[in-house]
Amino acid sequence: GPPREFAGVWIYFSDKYTSETPSPRRMRTCRDLLLGLAVLHVVSAETQSRPPHIVLVVADDMGWNDISWNNEKMYTPNLEALARDGVILEQHYVLPTCTPTRAALLTGRYPYKLGIQGHGIRPLEPYGLPLGMTTLAEELKRRDYTTHAFGKWHLGYCDVKLTPTRRGFDSFRGYYLGAQDYFTHMTPGGRTSPEIEGYDYRNYESVDESAKGIYSTTLITKNVLETIEEKSKQNGPVFLYVAFQAVHSPLQVPDDYRTKCSTYTKKRLKICEMAAAMDEAVGRIVDKLKEVQMWNNSIFVFISDVRH
């Protein structure tokens, strides 16, 4: 049913991946949908004449079975509450790896047209999201939005021109690569690329060492809440791109969340706890938007990038 509490639209995109190629008619991109919703909101609310704030939350590697309304063993009450008041899209498809999904999400293009339809960008690979492609952030800036990215980028960093603040985002707090330790924010080099092991957390384009020791989900949420507080004091619409690290490997979670789930084997238990931590973070973001009177004029979207 239609949302009861706010003027915008909350949408959950099911992330079911299929080996069958969806038809172009069915496989619409989130970029085009968000722009369309923003335009429709303004057209249908001429008396307000205020473009909606847009909050796009991306979970990492969260599967169809990792959310409580599909699996009662999971603990995601905040997301479930949003789903009850929103719209669940059951025929929205993502790609099987991180970079292609994120590239499609932020450009509105099929990944094969971008040349990045395979695996996620690896640390030493000298490419990224093509510079000739307009991003969702750039398009929204043309519509007078301030644009802010948080968390995982994974769309290239070999040239500074490929990084978030050069691709339409006014600010960036997060990491460039595809995976890292949740607490130390160190990127593991492993046996194949030991030379790339290092610290990866940024404030704009500079290394942010103040993030050390803070759990990734907690850290990203802190950064988002600070930005919401700051932007609530200014006029104009805001776009928040919140790309959580959870529930991507390594499977790590603070002790505080180890009472939320109790019916799983060790690995599944960790994923459940990580999802619970992210769910709490989503609840805090929603509460903050309500506190600063932004929620009633917001479009809130939650998706996952990959997983079966």
Reference 168, options 202, 143, 145, 141; nearest CA is 141
Give the number of residues written for the chain. 308
Contact 257, 273 (CB under 8 A): yes
Ramachandran angles phi, psi of 17, nearest 5°: -95, 140
Q: Which of 30, 92, 98, 148 is catalytic?
A: 98
Query: Cα separation of 253 and 220, whole Å?
Result: 14
| Structure token pair of residue 11 | 């949408």
Q: Which of 154, 185, 248, 272 is catalytic?
A: 154
HSE (side-chain half, CA atoms, 13 Å) at 179: 15
Query: Cα separation of 134 and 159, whole Å?
Result: 17
Tokens 């989900």 correspond to 217
Reference 242, options 282, 279, 210; nearest CA is 282
Write the DSSP symbol of residue 113.
Answer: H
Question: Which residues, 6+ apart, have CB-to-CB distance to 217 below 8 Å?
Answer: 182, 244, 245, 246, 274, 277, 278, 281
To the query of whether residue 308 is one of the catalytic residues in this protein, the response is: no
Q: Dihedral of CA 233/78/211/63: which sign? A: negative
To the query of whether residue 148 is one of the catalytic residues in this protein, the response is: no
Residues noted as catalytic: 98, 154
